[in-house]
């Protein structure tokens, strides 16, 4: 029985070892050889005994014939009998028969007690004459007994010799074969168990061929040990590389030249939704094809990579769930030692979100640029409108009621006012609309606006209002909220065209820094106004343009293209953002994100009563870089009785303030001017005339939604374009407020003195 090395048993075990089998074989050969030799010896001994018996019987018969010759010649039979009896002392002779031929007398001595005898007959001759015969019967059993004794002795000696020979052979086999084989067996067993330490020791085992075999075995073990170590190190490196590839953030997979996937990492399964078992063996193009690229696109890639050239580019693919992504893919050919490209390693990064963010950033940059342009145009346009409205109002007061000229002036005034509305929308888009923010609850404000919104969209459209419970507060101008809702609802009404539904809902939402869709928002709490409709919806191409000023899909005369632009600007001005999604034929959803306000609630401020008159005699310094606006403001204030000083620049205003005689009561300055802004001019003049009050003129507010007030709450504001009555009223109110404050201060001082 052969025992595998892996079992740990030695190869020389008695039931199947080479030395054991060899010893048995040699012992068998020796035994058979000894048996054959012994058989030959026995046969030879038997033949020898038979020949000896024959020779001795013949010799005995011849001697007896010689001895009996005288007695038989003398016919002395008794004497012959005595001689025969004496001869019978030989135990081998069973009987002797004597026949005397002269007288014919015969006599037998002894008896045939043995059945196995050999008879020898001899003639007794005297001088050539036969005088008688003798028959000697020899007992063969005696000879056979001697033969058996000799054979037994030979067998015993042979067995002893055989035993000694076998023992010696066993010792020799053990020393020359079994021990070396046992040692070799242990070495092989250790090798099979991965222990190659004996290969390094290279101890001498056996002699001759066995020694050569051991040297070859040790050389083989050393080579195997080296190869195993190298293989272990290679496997370790491969495992490390596989682990590194598997842990890579980018999707990595290996495909054959024919395009079948052979290996994927974990990032691939996360990106595509396919498990490794599902992906391996599949054709890459068929598995991930999003049907965006044509066959020529993939053929061009194959032509490049088949030449051993690396290909990199963007490619659109489809996940298991049917969604698509845009990836930056790099395909690197892997060539064998002959240079044949048999495999490709593909590394891909999902850049869908980055592409979306880049598109959003480009859109934001574009909107910012358009906003600055719109704001600048509105600012300059407001200056012109201030002149137009003021001149129209002054001219109307000088014309008799009912005259045609008065009607023409009214048309000019009406057209200018419509232009004011247009510039207000442009300023809203540019996030420079003049606002008065307050802490408001959107649920209450929207609830109060539902009737107005319902009349705006018509009876054919169903209105659904879904307010959230415990809605957070926001801080913005309520009129801006109404403007946003009105524009969105009108847009939804036009999209519905006939019968449909508009849903307005509010909710609280917290955005985390880990959210992937923050884009132009920061992490934090937001109040969201959701406006959804069941209208015609918009294509992805239209969604990229809807917030651009003057972009509209409506027929000529049915829209200005500023509605959604105004929504965008208002929301952005208040630190929020607009999210829109739409499906053609199903409808559109707008989500307005407004930052949660956690500050103090607004308090009602008691306003002291002021004079209703717009005239006065105080000294007013007007600072305006636009000559026509400056001239109009001077004309209006002069007409109301004020002493007016004019300055066309900041430097001129400061010089005038320094050189004027008497105190300055009020500074009326534009906010946006070259070199030095209005607030800086106010600070400089405030140092010279600290008693003066300041009124700012501006065509739009700053980015934060407020006009800066360097004089604290004493600084009032008049928006451009203004009318004569509006400008004169703000100036009078500012002066009266200062007078009341001064009177209160004097009264407080008098009480302290008392």
This prediction's pTM: 0.46
Same domain membership, residue 130 and residue 47? yes
Same domain membership, residue 446 and residue 579? yes
* DSSP state at residue 514: T
Query: Which among 142, 162, 182 is the end of a domain?
Result: 162
Per-residue H/E/C for 456-509 = HHCCCEEEEEECCCCCCCEEECHHHHHHHHHHHHHHHHHHHCCCEEEEEEEEEE
* 520, 614, 658, 685, 722 from 618: Cα distances, Å: 49, 12, 18, 17, 21
Q: Scanning the structure block, which residue is given the tokens 């015609």?
A: 536
45 within a domain of the structure (yes/no): yes
62 within a domain of the structure (yes/no): yes
Torsion of CA 447, 448, 450, 454, to 10 degrees: 170
Number of domains within the chain? 4
Quote the domain boundaries for residue 315: 248-350
User: What whole-number distance in Å separates Cα of residue 566 and Cα of residue 598?
Assistant: 26
CATH code, domain with 659: 3.40.50.2300
Same domain membership, residue 572 and residue 465? yes
75 within a domain of the structure (yes/no): yes
For the chain, count helices (H), then strands (E). Answer: 20, 21
Same domain membership, residue 686 and residue 633? yes
Total Cβ atoms within 10 A of residue 499? 9
Q: Scanning the structure block, which residue is given the tokens 């939604």?
A: 705
Which is nearest to 437 in space by CA: 304, 321, 568, 576? 576
9 within a domain of the structure (yes/no): no
**What is the reported pLDDT for 5?**
40
Half-sphere exposure of 112 (CA within 13 A, CB side): 10
Same domain membership, residue 670 and residue 584? no
Query: Which among 144, 162, 180 is the end of a domain?
Result: 162
Given a contact cutoff of 8 angstroms between Cβ atoms, the answer to whether 577 and 522 are in contact is no
Total Cβ atoms within 10 A of residue 564? 24
**What is the reported pLDDT for 662?**
87
Same domain membership, residue 276 and residue 151? no
CATH code, domain with 277: 3.30.450.20
Q: CA torsion sign, 422 to 379 to 718 to 410? A: negative
User: What whole-number distance in Å separates Cα of residue 212 and Cα of residue 114?
Assistant: 69
**Which parts of 74-139 fold into alpha helices (H)?**
77-87
Report the DSSP beta bridge partners of residue 122.
134
Residue ranges in the chain modelled with pLDDT below 50: 1-14, 430-431, 555-559, 605-610, 702-714
642 Cβ partners below 8 Å, 6+ apart? Answer: 615, 616, 617, 618, 619, 620, 731
**What is the reported pLDDT for 123?**
84
367 within a domain of the structure (yes/no): no
Q: Scanning the structure block, which residue is given the tokens 């032509």?
A: 303
CATH code, domain with 528: 3.30.565.10
Q: Scanning the structure block, which residue is given the tokens 């030695």?
A: 10
What are the tens digits of pLDDT across the range 729-749? 999 998 988 777 666 656 655
Same domain membership, residue 565 and residue 443? yes
In the β-sheet with 577-583, what is the strand arrangement from edge to edge?
A: 461-466, 500-511, 524-533, 587-595, 577-583
Same domain membership, residue 726 and residue 637? yes
Same domain membership, residue 748 and residue 626? yes
271 within a domain of the structure (yes/no): yes
Which is nearest to 594 in space by CA: 674, 476, 700? 476
User: What whole-number distance in Å separates Cα of residue 223 and Cα of residue 219?
Assistant: 6
Per-residue H/E/C for 621-633 = EEECCCHHHHHHH
Pairing of strands 324-335, 438-440: unpaired
Same domain membership, residue 719 and residue 687? yes
119 within a domain of the structure (yes/no): yes
Same domain membership, residue 99 and residue 62? yes
Same domain membership, residue 461 and residue 343? no
Which is nearest to 592 in space by CA: 694, 483, 497, 675? 483
**What is the reported pLDDT for 172?**
75
Given a contact cutoff of 8 angstroms between Cβ atoms, the answer to whether 533 and 588 are in contact is yes
Report the DSSP beta bridge partners of residue 119.
137
Query: Which among 135, 162, 189 is the end of a domain?
Result: 162
130 within a domain of the structure (yes/no): yes
User: What whole-number distance in Å separates Cα of residue 139 and Cα of residue 145?
Assistant: 11
Coil, strand, or helix at residue 260?
Answer: strand
């Amino acid at each position: 029985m052969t025992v595998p090395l892996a079992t740990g048993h030695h190869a020389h075990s008695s039931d199947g070892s080479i030395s054991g089998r060899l010893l048995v074989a040699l012992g068998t050969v020796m035994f058979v050889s000894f048996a054959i030799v012994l058989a030959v010896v026995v046969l030879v001994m038997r033949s020898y005994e038979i020949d000896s018996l024959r020779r001795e019987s013949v010799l005995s018969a011849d001697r007896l014939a010689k001895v009996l010759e005288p007695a038989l010649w003398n016919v002395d039979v008794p004497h012959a009998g005595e001689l025969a009896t004496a001869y019978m002392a030989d135990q081998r002779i069973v009987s002797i028969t004597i026949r005397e031929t002269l007288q014919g007398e015969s006599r037998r001595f002894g008896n045939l007690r043995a059945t196995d005898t050999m008879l020898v007959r001899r003639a007794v001759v005297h001088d050539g004459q036969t005088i008688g015969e003798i028959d000697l019967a020899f007992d063969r059993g005696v000879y056979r007994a001697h033969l058996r004794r000799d054979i037994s002795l030979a067998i015993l000696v042979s067995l002893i010799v055989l035993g000694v020979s076998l023992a010696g052979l066993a010792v020799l086999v053990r020393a020359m074969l079994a021990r070396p084989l046992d040692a070799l067996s242990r070495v092989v067993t250790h090798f099979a168990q991965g222990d190659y330490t004996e290969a390094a020791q290279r101890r001498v085992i056996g002699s001759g061929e066995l020694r050569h075999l051991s040297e070859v075995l040790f050389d083989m073990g050393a080579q195997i040990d080296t190869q195993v170590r190298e293989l272990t190190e290679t496997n370790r490196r491969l495992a490390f590389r596989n682990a590194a590839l598997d842990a890579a953030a980018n999707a990595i997979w290996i495909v054959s030249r024919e395009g079948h996937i052979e290996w994927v990492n974990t990032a691939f399964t996360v990106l595509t939704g396919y498990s490794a078992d599902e992906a391996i063996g599949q054709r890459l193009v068929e598995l991930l094809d999003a049907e965006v690229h044509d066959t020529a696109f993939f053929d061009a890639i194959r032509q490049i990579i088949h030449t051993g050239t690396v290909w990199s580019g963007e490619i659109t693919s489809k996940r298991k769930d049917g969604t698509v992504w845009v990836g930056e893919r790099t395909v690197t050919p892997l060539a064998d030692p002959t240079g044949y490209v048999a495999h490709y390693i593909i590394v891909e990064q999902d850049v869908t979100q980055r592409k979306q963010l880049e598109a959003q950033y480009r859109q934001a940059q574009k909107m910012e640029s358009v906003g600055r342009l719109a704001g600048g145009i509105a600012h300059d346009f407001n200056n012109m409108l201030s002149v137009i409205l003021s001149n129209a109002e002054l001219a109307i007061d000088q014309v008799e009621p009912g005259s045609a000229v008065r009607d023409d002036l009214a048309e000019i005034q009406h057209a200018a006012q419509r232009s004011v509305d247009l510039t207000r929308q442009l300023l809203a888009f540019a996030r420079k609309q003049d606002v008065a923010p307050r802490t408001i609850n959107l649920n209450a404000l929207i609830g109060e606006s539902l009737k107005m919104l319902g009349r705006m969209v018509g009876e054919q459209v169903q209105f659904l209002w879904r307010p959230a419970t415990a809605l957070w507060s926001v801080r913005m101008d309520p009129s801006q909220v109404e403007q946003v809702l009105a524009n969105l609802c009108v847009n939804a009404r036009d999209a519905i065209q006939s019968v449909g539904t508009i849903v307005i809902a509010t909710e609280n939402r917290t955005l985390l820094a880990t959210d992937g869709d923050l884009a132009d928002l920061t992490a934090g709490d937001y109040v969201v106004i959701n406006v959804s409709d069941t209208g015609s919806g918009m294509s992805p191409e239209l969604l990229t343009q809807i917030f651009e000023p003057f972009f509209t899909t409506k027929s000529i005369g049915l829209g200005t293209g500023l509605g959604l632009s105004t929504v965008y600007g208002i929301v952005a001005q208040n630190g929020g953002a607009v999210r829109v999604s739409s499906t053609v034929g199903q409808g559109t959803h707008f989500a307005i994100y407004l930052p949660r306000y956690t500050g103090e609630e607004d308090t009602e401020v008691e306003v002291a009563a002021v004079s209703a008159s717009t005239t006065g005699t105080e000294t007013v310094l007007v600072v305006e870089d636009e000559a026509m606006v400056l001239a109009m403001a001077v004309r209006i204030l002069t007409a109301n009785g004020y002493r007016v000083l004019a300055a066309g620049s900041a430097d001129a205003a400061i010089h005038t303030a320094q050189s004027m005689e008497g105190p300055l009561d009020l500074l009326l300055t534009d906010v946006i001017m070259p070199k030095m802004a209005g607030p800086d001019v106010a600070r400089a003049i405030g140092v010279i005339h600290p008693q003066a009050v300041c009124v700012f003129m501006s065509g739009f507010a700053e980015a934060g939604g407020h006009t800066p007030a360097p004089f604290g709450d004493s600084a009032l504001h008049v928006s451009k374009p203004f009318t004569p009555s509006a400008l004169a009223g703000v100036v009078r109110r500012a002066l009266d407020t200062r007078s009341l404050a001064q009177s209160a201060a004097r009264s407080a001082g008098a009480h302290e003195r008392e």
